[in-house]
Amino acid sequence: MLENSEVPAEASDRSKLAVLGSPITHSLSPTIHRAAYETLGFDWEYDAVELTGESLPAFLGALDRRWRGLSLTMPLKRDVVPLLDWADPLVELVGGANTVVVSEGHLRGYNTDVEGAMRSFLDAGLSNLDSVWILGAGATAASLLVASIRMGAQSIEIFARTPSKAEPLKKLGESLGATVTLRQWQEAATATTTPDVIITTVPGGAMDLRFAEAVRTTSVLFDVAYDPWPSDIATSWFEAGGTVISGHDLLINQAIAQVRIFAAGTSDVPLHHEADAIDAMRASIEQPEGHNHP
């Protein structure tokens, strides 16, 4: 495990971090990262910066030696890739990076969404998937596609408002050995089959589908959105007594992998007191009675 004292001394002045995206005001990343840093004894600061793809090159070019790393959310996960000096193979595979390490003027890109999703599946007791539906076709959908296949999924159905835009996802899934079918968005609500998991990667306010009770009681819902929470679709699953993996679960699991990378340059090295940090992250965004803040 990485002890707090094992953060390289020469990097001790690299204390600035931030999450970039647009819109960013709803982001819980500053809350959970600050909770983790306090628990781990890291003297780092973490802020939120409203930024679009057009402004990203200038922002990255102005980073100084005080910067340690960045988290990226919509719409920057794909925009940042051509700006990186080095990218982890997983970034190349999914076509998006949500984590950037700043070191000696170089930008190193990573993807922790895949690992975060896999940890979320395992936390929910899902160790082996077979059939998965994915709603949406953006950068997050690509990461959830790869995570699902790594968890064993062989049959993937992707529902998109413009299915042709999901063709890259179909090719990605097929390159990894899965059978991938593209469908029109509204077909998800009328389909008669029940997959192991239904993953929605669209913002909570953009979800307009309603599912039959038989689907909600049989299929696990993985809703990556968390603003507002619970979302309308998650509420419908709860009302049916169904199982839900929340956006908070993914947020925390991908973030602890980010903290590992920011501390050690790899997500493979567990942090000292990591379990305590995860507890602190979850407590920072959940009320004592267990209801999530909107």
Q: What is the DSSP letter of 103?
A: E
Taking the C-alpha atoms of residue 220 and residue 202, their distance in angstroms, rounded to an integer, is 17
171 included as an active-site residue: no
Structure-block tokens of residue 198: 């239904």
Catalytically annotated residue among 16, 77, 170, 171: 77
Dihedrals φ, ψ of 262, to 5°? -60, -30
Contact 216, 242 (CB under 8 A): yes
Taking the C-alpha atoms of residue 275 and residue 2, their distance in angstroms, rounded to an integer, is 13
Residue 250's H or E segment, with its range, is helix 247-264
Could you tell me the CA-to-CA distances from 30 to 3, 70, 142, 201 in Å, in that order?
23, 11, 24, 21
Structure-block tokens of residue 121: 């599946």
Taking the C-alpha atoms of residue 212 and residue 190, their distance in angstroms, rounded to an integer, is 8
For the sheet containing 86-87, what is the strand order? Answer: 45-50, 16-21, 67-72, 99-103, 106-110, 86-87
Q: Would you call the peptide bond into 270 cis, given omega within 30 degrees of 0 as the criterion?
A: no
Structure-block tokens of residue 180: 């991938």
| Residues annotated as part of the active site | 77
